[in-house]
Amino acid sequence: MSGDQAEPRTPADLPAARRWLLPSALADELDPGARRSGRPRRTARDWIVDFSCFVLAVVTGLLAAESMAEDPNLPEPVAAVDQVIGALSCGAVWLRRRWPLGLAIAMVPVGLVSNTAGGAGLISLFTLAVHRPFRYVAWTGGVSLAVLPVFFRLRPDPELSYPAVLVFTGLLIVSAIGWGMFVRSKRQLMLSLRDRARRAETEARLRAEQAQRLAREAIAREMHDVLAHRLTLLSVHAGALEFRPDAPREEVARAAGVLRESAHDALQDLRQIIGVLRAADADDAGGRPQPTLAALDALVAESREAGMKVTLANRVTDAGAVPAVVGRTAYRIAQEGLTNARKHAPGSEVAVTVTGGPGDGLVVSVRNPAPEGEVPHVPGSGQGLIGLTVRATLAGGTLRHGPTPDGGFRVRAWLPWD
């Protein structure tokens, strides 16, 4: 009967090859399409458990039959009828999953007339405790205990005294019921843990989607400000050419050059916001100047003043030519990396590396070793890294983050630089 205990597994995505290890109730929860005719599909594990219960009932019945054979006061026809009823009861064990309550109730009167059906009766009570609420178990188990004195008055045990056999059999019944209730509680706990894990996964996915949406809105607002500047510049110079067609050739050429450069920059910025469906207010609203790669030294200096150990390796070819969008994204990535290192690895030396050039792209890396000593728990949901991943993706690049072999953490991003 130990096979009825459920394994302590809770993930809803348990591989199908391992589902035979689960009880049918849990297996059908993981695979609702496996139900047939309104009843749970019996797994290979269920067949093994049912066969073990059948063998246990048969062995118990054989032991009881052997004990009856040694009783000289028991008529032979009564013993034969007892064994026939016991054999039918053992066969009925295969119905315990389909009709647990009916089998347990039927075994109460059967137990009054058959000694060899005792094992099947215990298994029926165990099954009832596993598959049905406590009120059914209480009534059926109470009746089973109440008829024990009548049974042993009619069929006294040849080896044990009347009080001893009552106590021993009562303990067996209570143990079977208690074991079944324990298995039922364990299964319900597993199902609740599985549901909790599923809800946690759903909530995490919703938080990630919300973080991505907020990041897209922030980027869209930032790009909107940039595009407004570019398009306004285009409008001013185009209006000047329209209202001054007699302007000197040099001035017309200069205005045309400004128009060309502004249009090119506006097209580059527009590519960053394709797919962004909404624009919302962000923290960087109000027309304040946005940081670029040139502000990275000031960011590192500010972190050092706050007590952090930071090393900066800026090996960018022609740093002044870094596009504004790329430089701003690189700055945000370094800023978030330093913030995370300050929270989760205080006292560790953080290495910030920026490399690359035109045509090769810009690589930003923020790395810190494992913190020294125990670090207090800092609440956080990882939305900053999610936002950085979205920002890098919309900029046409990639971002990877995760632990390093030495126990530290690394954030590495590649951004395109045409």
Name the nearest CA neighbour of 217 among 381, 390, 400: 390
Q: Phi, psi at residue 254, to the nearest 5°? A: -65, -45
Q: Which amino acid is at 155?
A: R
Average pLDDT over residues 100-105: 84
Which is it for the CA torsion 28, 32, 38, 41, positive or negative?
negative
Q: What is the pTM of this model?
A: 0.43
Average pLDDT score over the chain: 75
User: Residue 273 half-sphere exposure, CB side, CA atoms within 13 Å?
Assistant: 19
d(CA 132, CA 105): 13
Q: Which of the pair, 221 or 247, is modelled with greater confidence?
A: 247
Question: Does residue 173 register a pLDDT over 70?
Answer: yes
pLDDT at res. 6 = 40
Question: Does residue 125 register a pLDDT over 70?
Answer: yes
Question: Does residue 142 register a pLDDT over 50?
Answer: yes
Question: Does residue 32 register a pLDDT over 70?
Answer: no
Neighbouring CB atoms inside 10 A of 393's CB total: 14
Question: Does residue 101 register a pLDDT over 80?
Answer: yes
d(CA 131, CA 25): 10
Residue 154 is given by DSSP the state: H
Give the confidence band of 177 by pLDDT, cuts at 50, 70, 90.
confident
Of the chain, the percentage scoring pLDDT greater than 90 comes to 6
State the angle between helix axes of 324-344 and 249-272 in degrees (0 to 180), rounded to the nearest 10. Answer: 40
